[in-house]
Amino acid sequence: MYLEYWGFERFPFDNVPDPDFFYLSRPHEEGLMRLSYAVERRKGCALLSGDIGCGKTTLSRVFLRRISGKKYDVALVANPCLGPKQFLQDVLYRFGVSRVPASKVEVLRVLNERLNENLEKKRETVLIVDEAQLLSRATLEEIRLLLNYQLSRRFLLTIFLLGQPELVEKIRRIRQMEQRVAIKYVLRPFRPEEIRDYIVFRQKQAGADRNVFGEGALEMIYEHSGGLPRSINNLCDLALLLGCARKDSRIEPEVIKEILDDGTIF
């Protein structure tokens, strides 16, 4: 492909949630800070929302890396399209429970035992739900009830809900649930100067010793990506491929224009 041509050791713009390629922009740094605060202060429930491709999943993986270790017991539910009982069973499975009960009553009993066991061992119990906009109302109600696991001065479980903007409206319709969300944060797209730094950063992480994107190309990438990392990655990846095929020494606006004129990227 184009790795050798541009001097990369790895593909710099793969759309996978790889923490090694996580660019700590100001909005992402603030998002991480709020997630960390929620678990450290045992706030119960936190909501992180943002448009498709803004970096929510990658941010969650970076957060997972930060809270790994004996102090935390973490479950990540990445596909929440489940009914209430199935969701709770999946939560137990993600916590590493080998034999998940068939009945909801038993599932809740085992979960309660897990929470109290972690309390005794001074471990924080954390549940992360990605793509949470896909949760049904009934499952959201079940999540709200999980927040009843608490002592007089602290929650026994911290829940993070990550999802697209419609998640905010879905929670707003459940007043009791909205009142339980202690921290809310909207992850915004990159600004022009952040896009440049982001693209340069990912090239360096991939092993390059120079920025191969010209200023004009960077401006076009911002204009046509809306500042969303996923769209930026798609456009940059194709630009590097096309630039290699054209034997260009740098990615200039005409390369971006050719990709956009093709009409297959977005």
The stretch 86-104 carries a mean pLDDT of 96
- The answer to whether the beta carbons of residues 228 and 52 sit under 8 Å apart is yes
Closest CA to 170 of 131, 227, 125: 131
In the chain, % of residues over pLDDT 90: 94
Q: Edge-to-edge strand order for the sheet containing 183-186? A: 72-77, 124-129, 158-163, 45-49, 183-186
Please report the pLDDT score of residue 264 as a whole number: 59
Full set of structural domains in the chain with CATH: 3-19+190-262 (1.10.8.60), 26-186 (3.40.50.300)
- Of 1-5, 178-182, 262-266, the range with the lowest mean pLDDT is 262-266
Q: pLDDT tens across 239-257, in order?
A: 999 999 999 999 999 999 9
Q: Which two tokens stand for residue 262?
A: 């093709």
Residue that the structure tokens 């090694």 belong to = 20
Give the CA count within 13 Å in the CB-facing half-sphere of 229: 29
In this structure, what are the phi and psi dihedrals at residue 146, rounded to the nearest 5 degrees? -60, -25
**Nearest alpha-carbon partner for 206 in 23, 16, 14, 9:** 9
pLDDT (0 to 100) of residue 240: 98
Confidence of residue 74 (pLDDT cuts 50, 70, 90): very high
Q: Given pLDDT bands bounded at 50, 70 and 90, which one contains residue 69?
A: confident
What's the whole-number mean pLDDT along residues 184-197?
A: 95
DSSP 188: P
Q: What φ, ψ does residue 40 adopt, rounded to 5°?
A: -70, -40
Instruction: Please give the average per-residue pLDDT across 115-122, as a whole number.
Output: 96
**C-alpha span between 2 and 213 (Å, rounded):** 14
Q: Are strands 124-129 and 183-186 parallel, antiparallel or unpaired?
A: unpaired
Q: Are 63 and 30 in contact (CB under 8 A)?
A: no
Mean pLDDT score of the chain: 95
User: For position 4, what pLDDT does the model report?
Assistant: 96
pLDDT tens-digit readout, 128-161: 999 999 999 999 999 999 999 998 788 999 999 9
* pTM of the complete model: 0.91
Asked if the model's pLDDT at residue 266 lies above 60, the reply is no
How far apart are the C-alpha atoms of 40 and 182, rounded to whole Å? Answer: 13
Q: What is the pLDDT of residues 8-27, one digit of tens each?
A: 999 999 999 999 999 999 99
Pick the residue with more confidence: 1 or 264? 1
